Amino acid sequence: MAPGERAPISPVAVPGEATTDLRDEVVALAHALPGGLRRLVVRNGDRAVEVEWATETLPGAAPAGPSDRDRPGVPGPADPVPAGPADPAQLPEGTTAVRAPLVGTFYAAPSPGAAPFVGVGDEVEQGQTLGIVEAMKLMNPIVADEAGVVAEILVGDAESVEYDQILMHLRPAGSATGGRA
């Protein structure tokens, strides 16, 4: 076996042995992962590992700005993972945030070279697709939770995004002027 390779875990459970090996590997994985873990799920049948990080800043991530902890609508006891310099400490007055539901790559258009789903100033309806986050070859549509006008788009096409990162701001439909033709 080459250095760095792991021995495969036998699919046939030997009482005590395979369980101990799996437990040891899970503990080693948990200690090797950066940042704090919120949840770690391991299934033995058909093998699956799910990792959910706590929403604090991970090592090597952009430094966090002022805390979003006291902002209404932000769940959890920790600050969200910062989105970088474009992520404001607070939402602009009268806007709501459209957030990434998972880690992946944000796409502003349905395919390369196509027109973007939305642009700044566009009116959107509840349930309208605003973009896509691709994760593990699955395209996950980002839809508007409410009708409004796109006030600001904070991420570029094909840009990596983190869980709970603010992708764009919407404001109520009656409060914006103009739009794209």
Higher per-residue pLDDT: 104 or 12: 104
pLDDT digits (tens, 9 = 90+) for 23-46: 677 777 666 766 666 666 777 676
The three state secondary structure string of 4-71 is CCCCCCCCCCCCCHHHHHHHHHHHHHHHHCCCCEEEEEEECCCCEEEEEECCCCCCCCCCCCCCCCCC
140 found inside a domain = yes
CA–chain centroid gap for 85, Å, is: 17
* CATH number of the domain bearing residue 123: 2.40.50.100
70 found inside a domain = no
What's the rounded Cα separation, in Å, for the pair 94 and 175? 8
Number of domains in the chain: 1
Q: What is the mean pLDDT of the chain?
A: 73
pLDDT digits (tens, 9 = 90+) for 51-100: 766 655 444 444 444 433 343 443 443 444 444 434 445 678 889 999 99
133 found inside a domain = yes
Q: How far is CA 34 from CA 37, 67, 134, in A?
A: 8, 21, 22
65 found inside a domain = no
Give the domain extent around 135: 96-175
Q: Is the pLDDT confidence value at 155 over 50?
A: yes
Q: Is the dihedral of CA 79, 81, 83, 84 positive or negative?
A: positive
Strand partners of residue 148: 124
79 found inside a domain = no
101 found inside a domain = yes
Q: Is the pLDDT confidence value at 164 over 60?
A: yes
CB atoms within 10 A of CB 81: 24
39 found inside a domain = no
Higher per-residue pLDDT: 89 or 135: 135
